[in-house]
Structure 1
Amino acid sequence: MKSVEVNFDGLVGPTHNYAGLSEGNVASLSNANESSNPKSAALQGLKKMKALHDMGLTQGIFAPQERPDIYTLKRLGFQGSDAQILAAAYKTSPTLLASCCSASTMWTANAATVSPSADTQNQKVHFTAANLANKFHRSLEPETTSNILSAIFNNDDYFQHHQHLNDNEHFGDEGAANHTRLCESYGDKGLEIFTYGRVAFNRNTPKPVKYPARQTLEASQAIARLHGVSAENAVFVQQNPDVIDQGVFHNDVIAVGNQNVLFYHEQAYLNTDSFKAEVSQKFSGNNLHFIEVSSEQVSIEDAVNTYLFNTQIITLADNSMAIIAPMHCRENTQVFDYLQSLIAANNPINHVEFFDVNESMKNGGGPACLRLRVALTEQELTAVNPNCLLTDSLYLKLVTWVNKHYRDTLTLKDLSDPQLLIESRTALDELTQLLSLGSVYRFQN
């Protein structure tokens, strides 16, 4: 049965700001406390979505979360009116307030892990929202993420949703940012690669020293069990702890796969040779391409600074592949030269497009962070909420929506402005109507 891969990109939220909340994320920390531009960030993301739509891909929209998160601040003991709560939180801890205002859900690669129906025991598409237990500001997301996923994929005949894993670092789960799927075509049974940073229940195994390993083996194994992915169709591989300590906080900062291509840095995995052997043995298709980039070709530092591997590899209508890269890859001579040699070499990737997603990049997320990949059969696609699939008309409506509701600049002090909360809720209430999501936010209930 014919299948397509749909990229559901996260809309950047109205409270997009630079608070430097993500330890281990070099870009996030280096741009902490700068003034942000929420309107520009949202429009940049929409422009990328529209460009992929125009290339012939099916492009989805994933709504942001309600921020500021007044409910969490109340849970933490702040009392009074919304304005009083925001003022008190800012006075007590600006970082805590920033955490409750984070627009990090723009990086939809962290929203969930998705297993297509071809891979699962009951032949349904399975979704498990990530618990993101390693970072406080991201641990606030899974409940609303689950609501949004259920509103987009709202048909029990085709889709199965699971509660996020236990809210504990032993089962720290970062979603699709540490999950890659290889296949011959999107509708074929695939090989799901689960990359983890540490083994939670065995302290004697390798782990990073400087920065936390956010994904555990135990979490990855639990997702595979929940989704009914057999051992023959799963590979569990440990990320190299040394590269985590160099700022590679997720596997999608150092590797990306698409169909029969795995594009990765030579330092990405702890035991690369045995990993490649297992992938080769379990991959059911033909012409598997391992595209390994050496440190001599591109250093880890340049890979992190340009997000060379946090690019999207997409398959076009003529079955050729293209790389969707941030402008940083064009501006770095070494990385740009490597990409030119890559598309000239004998492999399926023969085209590269550069996009300005600088507002996202400064906060630590590239093109691949901005999207959740969902492989769907034609029948499953008809069961998806159609109002969450981009059209020319919806694009124009969303651009108008952003220009109407979003601010041009935002500082950390602005997060305590009660008017920002009103603006955000007004915008999100209108968005849920545009996307026909229903009441997915707490303030709507």
Structure 2
Amino acid sequence: MTAYEVNFDGLIGPNHNYSGLAFGNLASSRNARNTSSPRQAALQGLEKMRTLHHLGYRQGFLLPQLRPDVATLRRLGFSGGDRSIINKAARQAPQLLSMIYSASSMWAANAATVTPSADSADGRLHFTPANLVTTSHRAIEHPQTQRCLETVFADPDKFAVHQALPSQNRFADEGAANHTRLSAGYGERGVGLFVYGRDNRTNLSSLHFPARQTLEASEAVARQHGISERAVFLQQSAEAINAGAFHNDVVAVGNGTVLFFHEQAFEAQSQADAFADLSERLPLQPVCVPRDQVSLEDAISSYLFNSQLLADADGNLERMRLIAPTECRDNPAVNAYLAQLAEDNSQPIGDVEFVDVRQSMSNGGGPACLRLRVVLTEEELAAVNPAFMLDDTRIDQLQAWVNDYYRDELDPSELKDPDFLNECYTAYDALTQVLGIGSYYDFQHA
């Protein structure tokens, strides 16, 4: 069966700001309260999408979430019209504004976990929105994520969009940032590799930062998607978490039969067991980056493993490329390693493309954070809402929309201004008109 891996990137919204809310995300903390550029951020994201489109890949996008999320403030006891609520929150609880204006939903890798129809028990493509309960600003995302996925993947005969797991610490789920689908071909049955940070035996006192994904959450998603017998579970190392690898996709990325990872990414015994299991199911090709060539610190600061690992544009998994952030080119150790990697014919990664997503990187997410990978058959691809598939014309339209409605600069202190709420709403309303999708956002129904 012919199938394709399609990247659906998060379209960065007009609220892109640096509030530094994600404890354990070192880039986010380092740039907290700095002035951001929403326009530059969105244009950089769109140019990355255009780069993949021009390389021959199928490329889609997901809508920005409604920000500010005034509905959350209403649930927290504020009442009145939207502008009035922003004014009240600015006076009474200004710290809540950064939560309800958070830009974090732009990182579509956290939107959901995805299982292709070739793997699932019922032959449908499955999505489970991530509950993201570890951080308050992300925990509010999953209802809007579910709505977006149901809009893009609307055919219930082909797509199953589940509710998020219960919003409990026991089932903390961070989506595809901790999941990799491995297979010998996109249309062939594959294996779901679920990486978790903690289970009921984890010594939490050994962790300086939160272990955001639990084993029980990963097991629950595998059950939902009907792949429990095709799932492998692997524990992230405490060393990696403590170094700032808040998600597995900061220290590892996989595609096809290739797993590209840092030497210190996983707990040793868990890695040995998981790799043995994987090797029985498919011709696993581990590509381990040695710590003496690229330190864990350099890997995390450059986001080497938050590169997109892609098959050749024709789907050939024996020829692969990395879409890496320019920070990898600028880091001498990482750049030297990538040059060596591209010349190593013992593995299929032979090409590296650098992309500038510095606005996203400064907020703690790289090229891989910005996209949700979805394997689609030709029939399923035809059933995707065409408003969300990209070509040059659509990208041009979105770039023109960004230039018309986004600020050049945004300081987090400006979130208290109710006029900024109006700016965001006006931009979202114009976006739905560009896409021709009618009244999508809540305020459009008021």
Spell out, residue by residue over 1:277-327, the C-alpha distance to the aligned partner (whole angstroms, 9 max, x if none): 1111122xx4x3100011101111111100000000111235221100001
Residue 227 of structure 1 is matched in structure 2 by 225
Equivalence map 1:85-234=2 (5 Å):
85-199=85-199, 202=200, 204-207=201-204, 208-231=206-229, 233-234=230-231
In the aligned structure 2, how far is the partner of 1:115 from the partner of 1:186? 11
The equivalent of 1:241 in structure 2 is 238
Question: Is contact 1:151-1:437 (8 Å) kept?
Answer: no
| Change in 2 beyond 3 A, CA 1:378/1:355 | same
The alignment's TM-score, normalised by the length of structure 2, stands at: 0.96
Q: 1:72: how far off?
A: 1.0
Do 2:125 and 2:160's aligned partners in 1 also have CA atoms closer than 8 Å? yes
SS in 2 for 1:173: coil
User: Is residue 219–residue 228 contact of structure 2 (8 Å, CA) maintained in 1?
Assistant: no
TM alignment of 1:312-327, pairs within 5 A: 312-317=308-313, 319=316, 320-327=319-326
Give deviations 1:17-58, integer Å, cap 9, x for gaps.
Answer: 001000000000000000000000000000000010010000
Q: 1:295 to 1:93 in 2, by over 3 A?
A: farther
For 2:217, the aligned partner's letter is A
The 5-angstrom pairing of residues 63-82 of structure 1 reads 63-82=63-82
Post-superposition Cα deviations, 1:80-117, rounded to whole Å, max 9, x if no partner, equal: 44333223322334332111101111100000001000
Amino acid at match of 1:89: A
263, 266, 276: which one pairs with 1:266?
263
Judge conservation of contact 1:387–1:434 (CA < 8 Å) in 2.
no
Distance (Å, rounded) in 2 between the aligned partners of 1:267 and 1:381 = 38
Q: Which amino acid aligns with 1:152?
A: V
Structure 1 position 438, deviation (Å): 4.3
Please name the residue that 1:255 is paired with.
Answer: 252
**C-alpha distance in 2, partners of 1:324/1:150?**
28
Superposed CA offset, 1:368-423 (max 9, x none): 00000000000110000011000111011000000011000001121112121111
Deviation sequence 1:325-368 (CA, Å, 0-9, x none) = 00100000000000001111021110001011000000000000
Give the alignment of 1:15-26 within 5 angstroms.
Answer: 15-26=15-26
Counterpart CA distance in 2 for 1:358 and 1:87 is 32
- The equivalent of 1:291 in structure 2 is 287
Q: Over aligned residues, Cα RMSD in angstroms? A: 1.3
Q: Distance in 2 between matches of 1:282 and 1:437?
A: 42
Structure 2: distance between partners of 1:136 and 1:157? 34
Matches of 2:121 and 2:17 in 1, distance apart?
42
Shift of residue 3 of structure 1? Answer: 0.5
Please say if residues 112 and 174 of structure 1, whose CA atoms lie closer than 8 Å, have aligned partners that are also in contact: yes
The answer to whether the 8 A contact 1:194-1:237 is kept is yes
Which whole-Å CA distance do the structure 2 matches of 1:370 and 1:343 have between them? 24
Over residues 41-79 of structure 1, what are the superposed CA-to-partner deviations in whole Å (9 max), with x where a residue is unaligned? 000000000010010000001111111111111221223
Among candidates 303, 309, 320, match of residue 307 of structure 1: 303
Say if 1:147 and 1:440, in contact at 8 Å, map to a contact too.
Answer: no
C-alpha contact 1:22 1:135 (8 A) present in aligned 2:
yes
**Unpaired runs of at least 5, structure 2:** none
Deviates more, 1:207-216 or 1:373-382: 207-216
Deviations 1:200-228 (A, max 9, x none): xx2x3344521111111111001000001
Partner of 2:393: 393
Do the aligned residues in 2 keep the contact of 1:19 with 1:95 (CA within 8 Å)? no
What residue is the counterpart of 1:424 in the other structure?
424
Q: Take 1:279 and 1:266, find their aligned partners in 2: how far apart are those partners?
A: 18
* Counterpart residue type for residue 337 of structure 1: A
* Alpha-carbon distance in structure 1 between the residues aligned to 2:294 and 2:92: 44
Check conservation: 1:144, 1:440, Cα contact below 8 A.
Answer: no
Matching residue of 2:48: 48
Equivalent position amino acid for 1:313 in 2:
L
Task: For structure 1, list consecutive stretches of 5 or more residues without a partner in the other structure.
Answer: none
Q: 1:5 to 1:408 in 2, by over 3 A?
A: same
Distance, in Å, in 1 between the alignment partners of 2:437 and 2:226 is 28
Indicate conservation of the 8 Å contact 1:321/1:348, yes or no: yes
Deviations 1:223-262 (A, max 9, x none): 000001141x110111111211110000000000011110
2:213 partner amino acid: Q
Distance 2:435 2:374 in 1: 18
CA distance in 1, matches of 2:430, 2:417: 21
Alignment partner of 2:8: what SS?
strand
Contact preservation (8 Å) 1:206, 1:241:
no
Q: Which residue of 2 aligns with 1:343?
A: 342
Deviation for aligned residue 1:169: 1.1
Matched position secondary structure for 1:325:
strand
Give the SS at the match of 1:298: coil
For 1:329 and 1:105, locate their aligned partners in 2 and report how far apart those are by CA, in whole Å. 24
